[in-house]
Amino acid sequence: MEEINTSWSREELKVYILLYCAYADFIETEAEKEYIKSKVGEEKYNKIHKEFDDDNDYQRIQKIQATVAQYNYSKSEIDRLFENIKKMFLTDGPVDILEENIYRGLQHLLK
Look at residue 4 in the predicted model and tell me its pLDDT: 84
How many C-beta neighbours within 10 Å does residue 101 have? Answer: 12
Distance of CA 100 to the CA centre of its chain: 14
pTM of the model: 0.93
Query: Residue 31 domain-assigned?
Result: yes
Query: Residue 1 domain-assigned?
Result: no
Query: Residue 32 domain-assigned?
Result: yes
- Total of domains in the chain: 1
Q: What is the pLDDT of residues 3-59, one digit of tens each?
A: 788 999 999 999 999 999 999 989 999 999 999 999 999 999 999 999 999 999 999
User: 14: domain range?
Assistant: 10-110
Q: List own/partner pairs for 26-35 with CB under 8 A and 24 or more apart.
A: 26/98, 29/91, 29/92, 31/91, 31/92, 32/88, 32/91, 32/92, 34/91, 35/87, 35/88, 35/91
Query: Residue 5 domain-assigned?
Result: no
Q: What is the pLDDT of residues 86-111, one digit of tens each?
A: 999 999 899 999 999 999 999 998 87
Local confidence band at 1 (pLDDT 50, 70, 90 cut-offs): low
